[in-house]
Structure 1
Amino acid sequence: MIRSHFRQQRIFAVTIVGLLCSLCSYAQQNQLPLIPYPNKVVPGRGNFTFTPQTVVAGNDFFSNEKLVLAELFSKSFGKPLPVKKDYPGIVQMNLDRRITDPEGYKLTITTQQITLQAADRAGMLIAIQTLRQLLPADIESAQGGKNKISVPAVAIEDQPAFSWRGTHLDVSRHFFTLDYLKRHIDLMALYKFNKFHLHLTDDQGWRVEIKKYPKLTEEGAWRTLNNQDSIVMSRSKENPDFIIDPRFFRQKNGREVYGGFYTQQELKDLVAYAAARNIEIIPEIDMPGHMMAAINSYMFLSCDSTSSFGKFFSTPICPCNPATLDFAKDIFTEIMDIFPSTYIHIGGDEVERSHWERSAACQDMMKREGMKTSAELQAWFINSMEKFFKEKGRKLIGWDEILDGGISSSAAIMYWRTWAGNAPNEAIKNGNVVIMSPDNPFYFSEQPDKNSLPATYNYSLIPASIAAKDRNRIIGGQANVWTEYVATEQRADYLYMPRMTALAENLWGSVKNYSSYMRRLDAHLVRLDTMKVAYRMPDLPLLYNYAFIDSMLVDVRSSMSNAQIRYTTDGSAPAQSSPVLNKLVLRTSQRLRMAAFKPDGRRGDIFDVAYNKQPLAQPAPDPAKPGKGLLVEWYNRSFDSTVLITGKPDREFTTAGVIVPKDAETAAFTMRYRGYINVPTSGIYTFYLTSDDAAVLKVAGREVANNDGMHAPKEKNGQVALQQGRQLFSLDFIEGGGGYTLRLLYSKDGSEPKEIPAEWFSNF
């Protein structure tokens, strides 16, 4: 306590500072359970208590929004709150034109009244979601019988930093019910997303009714199972989330096919459902590539009336055929009748232009139009469609490939190719707006790991290379779920959540504090449980590969207080009948498979962990003439796995450490690092290997981290017992094409992971 009789000003000042720091720390530790966290929060004293008689009233401009708020209480009270028109209600919705952002709002809660203020319906809907998050989690479940619900007193002023806060779902590879789409929209609204990018067509399926071309859904919406389904079915042996949804199979022409589609009326109803929650649905009809579902039904769309998968991508439609352009315009005319969105997504990615280069008609057209490359032909098609969109009062949006060959400045660019890192700058220089949707870390269809949440939360939406005057050209970001290997709603939930919450806070633009976010996330996992969302459970604090010398205590705890860890030793998947892990002592090498289980039986990820009893590895003999750095064998090609690396390397050179040459950033290549690592003291060393794609690390001839196979960036780690001195070191790395990721860190005795000093490395 600060007392007035303090004699020295200095003591007084120091005490004030100490008190403020304590209050600051208290505020951080006791933040309200809100995601995304508002820009300005002033805690009050006490609580406001709702009863079934609490009246919702206010400006009639918000008549629909009053009903939305009143309905929040139906499951708890058994009925909505009463709504009055122009009534001095206890819960008041006011129109405030002084709020400049259409999604901005003010929320004031005292012990006696709640006031929500906004200048637009969008802002009021977002204010309601903030209030919803302050309500107890069980507000989301049907229970009835309650007569009181309290929320804390607080004053909030808030608005988003970015206007595009999106999620994406591919319903083409695997199909999803309208009920699931609505439930996803509800989650989006809860976390203040406002754009739902619906990927409706691709090679594997056409999901939207087009009345002028009925075969698109009569034939194109159905397919036999493919090689991706085979992988899904293999994974389903241990994880029921991969069991292909049986609701989408049917008999057609004497064979079983998979698929489905949405009628135009169903999609119009979905658009209205989303709009009532401040969410705009952005339809994507991907062309000129990714169009086999259409070409197979209307073969005139391809240049040679054939359809197949090439080395990289599928047969595209033929822009040199006037009928193709007419077809595209017909499609988008009906799409625009369904979707009133400002933007229509044309895709424009991954086009196998070699088909056009072999087409006499396309070569004639290119010569006639003065085009020198097939990229210019693709640009001609995209620009023709963009002109058509403008005539219809719409705007075109496409993946960043549409920059190739030139694009109008009025189009929007969705950046996804991390290996084309300059694309946002190129787009801005061209006058385009940009939506950040990088494959790493915003492709949520990639298997998440312990790094996924912080990577999503901390990703910088505005690249450092963007000049201050141009930063407003980055209008937001978006997470994408591609469904080649996502066959169920449960799997989609798992991939979205809880990463969506991290993205929500990133996109909202409030002051970031990851530790605070993680504390607040705990309350949201309870809410998601209540909402029956099959989110990914938190990672167990594990390495993939442990080393010990005499014995080891295995004592693993989940961050979820109500979860139990169960394990097996025979290689089978842990089940709820498996033994509970409780301070297991190992004295011999052992492989354990373990997973967290919630009381309802839901299982988290399975972790395969090796515990290796091993003596300290003895140092290797010193080479006659040791050199600095590591030797590298370089191959101008990739392999599917490190075990398949063979043949004579194309060149050899030396690097200072685990470094990839800058000129290799976009090529497919293979590198084999060889040499020594000179460890300064004896003990158990942990190495953390992150790679995209394959990488395998061995130290002292022992495999430490196996990150083999083609995959997005992910970390594998492991330990090895090493005697002080020079130890053999080998690392194989394969980049299959695109932007590479390769990073190796180490730690010892529980220290934080850090870079390996260059002076530790030497070669033969």
Structure 2
Amino acid sequence: MKIKLHLITLLLLISSFTFAGVEHLLPKPQQITVNAGSFNLAQPITVIVPAGDDFNFVADEISSFVTANGGNVATSSVSIVVNLTTNIAGAEFQDEAYSLEVTADKITILATTLRGAYWAVQTLWQLAEGNNNQVNACKITDWPAFRLRGYMHDVGRSYMAFEELKKHIQLLSRYKINTFHWHLTENQGWRLESKVYPKLNYDASYSRHPGRYYTIEQAKELVKFAREHGVQVIPEIDMPGHSEAFRKAMGHSMLTEEGLAEMKAIMTEACETFSDVEWIHIGSDEVRDPDKVGATISVEYFIQQMTSHIRSKGKKIVVWRPGFGYTESDVDMVHMWSSRGSTLGSLPAIDSRMHYINHFDQYADVISLYNSTIAYQTKGSHQYPGLIVGIWNDRVVPTDRDIVIQNAFYQSMLAAAERTWLGGGKGYFYEIGTKLDPNDIDFADWERRFLYHKANHLKDEPIAYVKQTNVLWRITDQFPNNGNVNTIFPPETQETAHSYTHNGKTYNTSSAMGAGIYLRHVWGPGTVPTFFSNPQANQTAYAYTYVHSSSKQTVGLQLEFQNYGRSEMDLAAPQGQWDYYNSKIWINDEAINPPVWQNTHTGKSNEITLKNENFTARPPISVTLNEGWNKVLIKLPNNGFTRNEVRLMKWMFTCVFVTPDGKDAVEGLIYSPDKNLNPMIEVLTSAIDNANAIKNSVMVGAEPGKYSTTAVAKLQKNIDAALVVKNNPNLTNEEYKAAAELLTKQIEDFKKSINMPKVSTESKQYWYSLSAPNRDASRVVAYQGDNVNLIGQPFAANTDKFLWKVTANSDGTFNLISKVKDSHISPNSAFNTALKAQDGIPTAGGWIFKPIYTNQYFAVASGDVQLNQTTSGLGYNIYNWGGGSNMTDAGCQYLFRLESLVGADALDSLQMALDASYGFKSSTIVGKNPGEYSEEAAETLNKALETASDVLNNPESTQSELRTTKVALLEALEQYKAGLNYPLASTADKTIWYSLTAVRENRSVAFQGDGNVLKGEPYVADDDKFLWKLVALDNGSFSLVNKTSDTYVSTATPRLTAVSGTQTEGGWKFTPIFKNNYFIITSGTSQFNQGNSGTAYVIHNWGNGTNMTDDGCQYYIIPRLEVGTSVNSQTAENEKIWIEDGKIKTTGDIRQLRVYNISGQQLNAKGRLPQGVIIVKTPYQSLKFVIK
């Protein structure tokens, strides 16, 4: 039997067949065929390797492998044979490539290098692990996608034991990690012995871990040990920055003649110590003022001298980028760090931009690391060798164990090991973010294999990670808390639900998966996407799930709300709080209190040890799970993302149940927000949520970035079909899974149907403006002349320099051609320099437009060249920046807006009318409240839209039909606009009390006493100072009267004031802002305007009666209470409430009702009520009844 195992189908095949060892390979091999039979290791085995000392480490590794699996190396009829070759058939990259063939009596290894042969043996180790001394018969052809696969330890700051370093090299070589970057020197210490200048290693030269350094012999030993495990060492001696330890020892800066001479001698010694390494890293970034104190030579002169000196010793030089301004000829490889890291000419560039795991949490960041491409590449090249995962130890942690476990070291390294070996990826960090897709079988498969290795090869290592692909949540939309993190919202007072109503607005929930979830990443939404695509300050979200346990049991809980970076001097949370946001968690409605924080200092210092701030540094919280379902509710407020106590705030949570010792997940638990015992229903629910979120976020129309009505209707049909499956309790796990996978594919198909910019022809020319609205909505790309920098300038209508058309090339790319003349935007600009227009219309090598999908924008790229709108600091020039695939930077997100169409016909006119109608309707709300549109008008418009879409898509429609349909559509649109609901005046029979809530900070107009200025305050239910009724005046305006004391709002003061009396003229009018449900409130030139904190939130008379754009002038008019004179039945939020036989009846939950008499005394909601007026308060509003 032979079964071909392709990478994508490997996981599916494992469900049908069991190939012990094969299913746990990490990284996965590029090609594998599994055959019948196996090779028995528990017997004498002949080992044959080519002669020569160079092969000794391979022979030794094979011998260790055989012995560990019960065999011995001896003359035998079965053998393991190793040979070198110049070519491995089928391998895309030959360096480190190998083939491995296993039969019943022979294992054959063929490799292009000794390192490749060593990797083949590591594959054998994995194939035999847990397989009873057997290796399944198979044929593997394997090679790395990237040639550099590494990690860095910052021992300069924090010394690590020599044996710990060797252990990491040995353990990680099992996963084909081939580079150890050894950061040896820092301000805190010089960790490499110097016999030339021994005072570098004196205790007085260290500010941390004094006297702890590696001897020259240890350094040589480590290089040899690493080489025998397939690993190259790249030592780093940082210069001339990060050099306080040098200054302490030598008494002066490196930037002196003495310092330069000493550094040359030191580097001569270092090059001799590291005689067997190819690369020397010299850092050379962040040369700061302290490094320059007493300097007598320039940084430029020092660098030129040192690079020349080191190269003269036969070493190649690696430097940080950004850093010193090297030219391409100065060094041999650059090491990119931070989002500013970039290539330098054609030099090899290591990617570490988003790979500093000292900022990582234990779960969510690992997802993005696994799924990300490397330097935007899916496979390596000369310029893109691979990545290095870095740990910076700026903050002291107690032990080497803490460095490993708190930095998520092993899960990060094994995620990087697979991505660098296998290649691929779903996009770069900036595009994919940290969200875990329930249908991501690649990550789930990696997790399964990683946890196997955690339990076996890495069983003695500190690893906090447990399974998270079964941990399901629902997370609410963001509730505005106005900076008060203690504000209580409906999820705290009501049963869990898929949606909640608060202050007249609906807040939905969405599904999420993972043990660690970012609502906002530490680097912000413009860099790393998270659960909320647009996380806002001063908001509160809630997460909930239910956890099913088959029995009552005591378990551990991994829990944290601020993962403390190991390079930060952040302060522990206040005692009694989980974090500075005062996040909370309840399990079965019982609050879980935080531990006692061991750090209580208030002055920041990296030299104060990080203690139990992170959950990895403390025992799991002991909690009891009941038999059956257990409720978990988490409150996640924020009051801004900057504060003094914590430099890098993370809006996030980690929550997962583990064994009491914290080592493993609790077996048999089911996480389900909807209490489904079948987890696949939750996966299907997540797919439906995702589909609905995408459908609700898109815009309908023909413009670029929008979707056709047909595509949206098809997606809705697919969602409906998935809902039918979800709601059928009698289906199998596989049927739910198949429906989830189908809907996920249909979502991807829908996304591909997005409208692209239209290509112009001779008969029809589409002239677009190109802007980056998220960077600066007023600026569009403007032609300045050939070979002149393009600039983003304020748009002016009927100006050709702002207009561009799209033409197609033979290679599938497109040109952007100016209307001024036949000049195109050229991609021939270096990274981080301005783009220019050049004469002519190319036929190849143009641009592609990559939809961003979450909005109407596109990334405009040509290979790794990308349009980016800069800011004033760069003169608003259009730069080549973004790497070709940056989807998150505001300057990379371009809107193509059609400004004119030459050659338009009736079809185009109808399409534009359809776009305008859909655009207007999509920005409005249908309902009964003020600012919403009537259902009748919406139904009329929907029918007209449907008819227009049908006519538009019918190829047999005549020009006359197209024109008639357009007229009918525009008439329906005007009828819809006329169906707007306005606030209603109170009458003798019914009084309606409204709150007037500004868009600015969601503050409501609050009465402050007769004759006092009004202020905006966070709305509080049942407080009359927020309630206003409209009293109609003879001139068609309204008096705004407060419920507290029947005072009205004067129209004649610079700061609006409530005055006593009865208003008879000069009242207020409510003018709608048609594209949302806001109003402006005006009286002639007087206008309501919500002030800000600088004006103590007073309500100003500002806006001249016409301002519709300032958010302080935009008001929601929210009905809060209706009072009738003789009411026997009312409805609140679809819950009918009535009086029958003197008792309250409701279609809802009577336990949610509170009943009071006119004096404010609470009554029994379930008992017979006394005669007179009573007030019934629901979670949504208050109602008045008269009991007769």
Q: Is the 8 A contact 1:39 1:157 kept in 2?
A: yes
Q: Is the 8 A contact 2:110 2:117 kept in 1?
A: yes
Select the residue among 372, 379, 382 that pairs with 1:459: 372
**Separation (CA, whole Å) in 2 of partners of 1:171 and 1:55:** 43
Amino acid at match of 2:371: N
Select the residue among 413, 417, 428 that pairs with 1:500: 413
SS at match of 2:663: coil
Identify if the C-alpha distance between structure 1 residues 275 and 159 changes in structure 2 by more than 3 Å, giving closer, same or farther: same
Cα deviation, residue 274, structure 1: 0.7
Cα deviation, residue 125, structure 1: 0.6
- What is residue 253 of structure 1 aligned with on the other side? none
- What is residue 87 of structure 2 aligned with on the other side? 98
Identify if the C-alpha distance between structure 1 residues 529 and 383 changes in structure 2 by more than 3 Å, giving closer, same or farther: farther
SS at match of 1:396: strand
Amino acid at match of 1:336: C
Amino acid at match of 2:300: A
Q: Within 5 Å, give how 1:275-294 maps onto structure 2.
A: 275-294=227-246
Select the residue among 159, 162, 176 that pairs with 2:146: 162
Amino acid at match of 1:663: T
1:447 aligns with 2:363: no
Cα deviation, residue 477, structure 1: 1.5
Select the residue among 68, 72, 76 that pairs with 1:82: 72
**Separation (CA, whole Å) in 1 of partners of 2:314 and 2:44:** 47
Select the residue among 577, 580, 587 that pairs with 2:625: 580
Deviation digits for residues 706-727 of structure 1 (CA, Å, limit 9, x no counterpart): xxxxxxxxxxxxxxxxxxx859
Deviation digits for residues 169-208 of structure 1 (CA, Å, limit 9, x no counterpart): 1012222111110111013211111110000110111111
Amino acid at match of 1:201: T
Q: Within 5 Å, give how 1:535-614 maps onto structure 2.
A: 535-538=463-466, 539=468, 540-542=471-473, 548=491, 550-552=494-496, 554-556=545-547, 564=555, 566=557, 569-573=591-595, 575=620, 577-580=622-625, 583-585=629-631, 595-598=656-659, 600-602=661-663
Deviation digits for residues 7-63 of structure 1 (CA, Å, limit 9, x no counterpart): xxxxxxxxxxxx999978844867732222222212222332321434433433544
1:327 aligns with 2:327: no
Select the residue among 516, 519, 522 that pairs with 2:448: 522
Identify if the C-alpha distance between structure 1 residues 285 and 508 changes in structure 2 by more than 3 Å, giving closer, same or farther: same
Deviation digits for residues 233-258 of structure 1 (CA, Å, limit 9, x no counterpart): xxxxxxxxxxxxxxx6xxxxxxxxx5
Identify if the C-alpha distance between structure 1 residues 394 and 22 changes in structure 2 by more than 3 Å, giving closer, same or farther: closer
Identify if the C-alpha distance between structure 1 residues 101 and 25 changes in structure 2 by more than 3 Å, giving closer, same or farther: closer
Select the residue among 410, 414, 428 that pairs with 2:335: 414
Cα deviation, residue 763, structure 1: 7.6
**Separation (CA, whole Å) in 1 of partners of 2:167 and 2:7:** 42
1:270 aligns with 2:222: yes
**Separation (CA, whole Å) in 2 of partners of 1:65 and 1:130:** 13
Identify if the C-alpha distance between structure 1 residues 150 and 102 changes in structure 2 by more than 3 Å, giving closer, same or farther: same
Q: Is the 8 A contact 1:207 1:221 kept in 2?
A: no
**Separation (CA, whole Å) in 1 of partners of 2:389 and 2:267:** 24
Cα deviation, residue 486, structure 1: 5.9
Select the residue among 96, 106, 113 that pairs with 1:113: 106
Amino acid at match of 1:32: E
Deviation digits for residues 460-501 of structure 1 (CA, Å, limit 9, x no counterpart): 32447x9x9x95222221111111236233333332121111
**Separation (CA, whole Å) in 1 of partners of 2:244 and 2:295:** 21
- What is residue 65 of structure 2 aligned with on the other side? 72
- What is residue 49 of structure 1 aligned with on the other side? 40
Q: Within 5 Å, give how 1:481-500 maps onto structure 2.
A: 481-485=391-395, 487=397, 488-494=399-405, 495-500=408-413
Q: Is the 8 A contact 1:34 1:130 kept in 2?
A: yes
Select the residue among 278, 285, 300 that pairs with 1:349: 285
**Separation (CA, whole Å) in 1 of partners of 2:7 and 2:388:** 36
**Separation (CA, whole Å) in 2 of partners of 1:593 and 1:119:** 45
Cα deviation, residue 214, structure 1: 1.2
Cα deviation, residue 89, structure 1: 3.8
Amino acid at match of 1:381: F
**Separation (CA, whole Å) in 2 of partners of 1:543 and 1:398:** 45
Q: How many residues in Structure 1 have an aligned counterpart in Structure 2?
A: 540
Deviation digits for residues 492-544 of structure 1 (CA, Å, limit 9, x no counterpart): 33321211112112212445586235314323323223321222314554578
Select the residue among 126, 131, 134 that pairs with 2:124: 131
Deviation digits for residues 614-662 of structure 1 (CA, Å, limit 9, x no counterpart): xxxxxxxxxxxxxxx99999xxxxxxxxxxxxxxxxxxxxxx9999985
1:436 aligns with 2:351: yes
Amino acid at match of 2:237: I
Cα deviation, residue 681, structure 1: 8.7
SS at match of 1:383: helix
Identify if the C-alpha distance between structure 1 residues 150 and 680 changes in structure 2 by more than 3 Å, giving closer, same or farther: farther
* TM-score (norm. length: structure 2): 0.41
SS at match of 2:358: coil
Deviation digits for residues 412-467 of structure 1 (CA, Å, limit 9, x no counterpart): 110113134xx21xx12xx42211111x2x11111325432232123332447x9x
Amino acid at match of 1:326: A
**Separation (CA, whole Å) in 2 of partners of 1:56 and 1:174:** 43
**Separation (CA, whole Å) in 2 of partners of 1:22 and 1:283:** 38
SS at match of 1:286: coil
- What is residue 716 of structure 1 aligned with on the other side? none
Q: Is the 8 A contact 2:101 2:107 kept in 1?
A: yes
Runs of at least 5 residues in structure 1 that lack an aligned partner in the other structure: 1-18, 140-147, 225-247, 249-257, 303-316, 363-376, 606-610, 612-628, 634-655, 672-676, 683-696, 703-724, 733-758
**Separation (CA, whole Å) in 2 of partners of 1:74 and 1:219:** 45
Identify if the C-alpha distance between structure 1 residues 543 and 216 changes in structure 2 by more than 3 Å, giving closer, same or farther: farther
Amino acid at match of 2:625: V
Q: Is the 8 A contact 1:42 1:155 kept in 2?
A: yes
Deviation digits for residues 213-242 of structure 1 (CA, Å, limit 9, x no counterpart): 111111356436xxxxxxxxxxxxxxxxxx
* TM-score (norm. length: structure 1): 0.61
SS at match of 1:474: coil
- What is residue 686 of structure 1 aligned with on the other side? none
**Separation (CA, whole Å) in 2 of partners of 1:632 and 1:726:** 26
Q: Is the 8 A contact 1:170 1:482 kept in 2?
A: yes
Deviation digits for residues 118-158 of structure 1 (CA, Å, limit 9, x no counterpart): 13211111111111122225x9xxxxxxxx41222211111
Compare 41-50 and 475-484 and name the one that shifted more.
Answer: 41-50
Identify if the C-alpha distance between structure 1 residues 210 and 338 changes in structure 2 by more than 3 Å, giving closer, same or farther: same
**Separation (CA, whole Å) in 2 of partners of 1:632 and 1:20:** 44
Identify if the C-alpha distance between structure 1 residues 288 and 22 changes in structure 2 by more than 3 Å, giving closer, same or farther: closer
Amino acid at match of 1:490: R
Cα RMSD, aligned residues only: 4.7
Identify if the C-alpha distance between structure 1 residues 54 and 663 changes in structure 2 by more than 3 Å, giving closer, same or farther: same
SS at match of 1:579: strand
**Separation (CA, whole Å) in 2 of partners of 1:596 and 1:523:** 20
Q: Which protein has the larger Cα radius of gyration, Structure 1 or Structure 2? A: 2
Q: Is the 8 A contact 1:92 1:115 kept in 2?
A: yes
Select the residue among 20, 24, 28 that pairs with 1:33: 24
Amino acid at match of 1:129: Q
Higher relative contact order (CA 8 A, sep 6+): 1
Identity %: 23
**Separation (CA, whole Å) in 2 of partners of 1:588 and 1:727:** 32
Q: Is the 8 A contact 2:128 2:134 kept in 1?
A: yes
Q: Is the 8 A contact 1:223 1:259 kept in 2?
A: no
Identify if the C-alpha distance between structure 1 residues 508 and 563 changes in structure 2 by more than 3 Å, giving closer, same or farther: farther
Identify if the C-alpha distance between structure 1 residues 399 and 590 changes in structure 2 by more than 3 Å, giving closer, same or farther: closer
Amino acid at match of 1:263: T
